[in-house]
């Protein structure tokens, strides 16, 4: 435990846990740079501690079939519990909705581009008839099949470089990647960004969260300096929507949250996995209205046919 006052320099370097993948490391570098800049620390005051997550080791099966999003977090969770690291950086899209109560998301960095990027064609309409779409994400598969039921979805996992290599090798004709990830890796010339209003992102897409033990008041105070409140409000609301829907890694969910002065507007859609059925609704609410996402989830499930509801466990 670091006993120094949060207002000064830590008594010893803080240990920031991160996955070892190139994108995760880029997110860790950004977190360290922001934290040190906010407090006037030298970068040596934040030591990066990388781990190869289970989700990075198993690439031949869909994540939902081998343990879900916990495969991205369990190694870092163990290190937080034992004190090997002081805090951990996560892509919030990959963090399971229900977390151990001992943990807290102490900061969310300013949210980056929420869009998906289509690689291999200029637009959804330009994809050749009957083409193969490489993705293991239920949301992307459902969105694509809803727009283009003539296409075939094939499983596609791995980091950005792996998926681009698979596409180049002809394992699929097109694929989809997160714009934020590409930008953080400096791959800004890859693919065609899709309008977020027509092709809604995943919950928490483009957001970096920093997590620590709830009882580490010193770390929480330091991290408060880099917390972006509008981004944190939106991520909290989107995760509350997920919780109320009772979705899992097999459940196709898309959501777009926008800020309007002192309120949030959340537009969400849920699908049947084959993309045939789609239900959409929206709600505008204040950031402190923590029940609003649950109301929206209830409304969505009330409208949804059984072909959608069977994939969710919320109370419709």
Active site residues: 94
Half-sphere exposure of 191 (CA within 13 A, CB side): 28
Q: How buried is residue 306: exposed, middle or buried, by Cβ count under 10 Å (0-12/13-18/19+)?
A: exposed
Within 8 A by CB and 6+ apart from 285, the residues are 237, 263, 264, 266, 292
The angle subtended at Cα 199 by Cα 197 and Cα 202, nearest 5°, is: 100
Measured in whole angstroms, the distance separating CA 42 from the mean position of its chain's CA atoms is 29
Burial 71-101 (b: 16+ CB within 10 A, else e): bbbbbbbebbeeeebbbbbbbbbbbbbeeee
Dump the DSSP string for 30-43: HHHHHHHHHHT--G
Are the beta carbons of 284 and 259 closer than 8 angstroms?
A: no
Are the beta carbons of 66 and 5 closer than 8 angstroms?
A: no
Residue 309 to residue 299: CA distance in whole angstroms: 12
Paired tokens of 180: 């934020």
**114 three-state secondary structure:** coil
Paired tokens of 238: 């989107």
What counts of helices (H) and strands (E) characterise the chain? 10, 13
């Amino acid at each position: 435990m670091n006993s120094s006052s949060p207002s000064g320099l830590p008594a010893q370097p803080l240990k920031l846990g991160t996955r070892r993948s190139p994108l995760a490391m880029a997110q860790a570098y950004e977190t360290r740079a922001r934290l040190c800049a906010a407090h006037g620390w030298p970068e040596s005051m934040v030591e990066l501690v990388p781990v190869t997550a289970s989700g990075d080791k198993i690439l031949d099966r869909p994540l939902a079939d081998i343990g879900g999003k916990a495969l991205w977090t369990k190694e870092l969770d163990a290190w937080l519990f034992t004190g090997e690291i002081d805090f951990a950086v996560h892509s919030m899209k990959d963090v399971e909705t229900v977390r151990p109560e001992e943990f807290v998301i102490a900061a969310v960095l300013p949210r980056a581009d929420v869009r998906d990027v289509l690689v291999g064609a200029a637009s959804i309409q330009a994809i050749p008839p009957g083409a193969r779409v490489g993705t293991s994400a239920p949301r992307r598969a459902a969105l694509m099949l809803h727009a283009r039921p003539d296409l075939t979805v094939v499983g596609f996992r791995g980091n950005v470089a792996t998926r681009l290599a698979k596409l180049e090798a002809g394992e699929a004709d097109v694929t989809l990647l997160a714009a934020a990830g590409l930008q953080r890796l400096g791959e800004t010339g890859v693919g065609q960004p899709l309008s977020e209003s027509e092709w809604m992102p995943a919950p928490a897409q483009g957001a970096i969260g920093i997590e620590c033990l709830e009882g580490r008041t010193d770390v929480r105070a330091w991290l408060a300096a880099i917390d972006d409140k509008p981004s944190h409000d939106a991520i909290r609301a989107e995760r509350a929507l997920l919780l109320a829907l009772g979705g899992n890694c097999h459940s196709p969910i898309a959501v777009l949250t926008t800020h309007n002065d002192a309120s949030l507007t959340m537009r969400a859609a849920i699908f049947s996995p084959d993309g045939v059925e789609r239900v959409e609704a929206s709600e505008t609410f204040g950031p402190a209205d923590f029940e609003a996402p649950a109301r929206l989830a209830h409304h969505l499930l009330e409208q949804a046919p059984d072909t959608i509801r069977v994939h969710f466990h919320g109370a419709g």
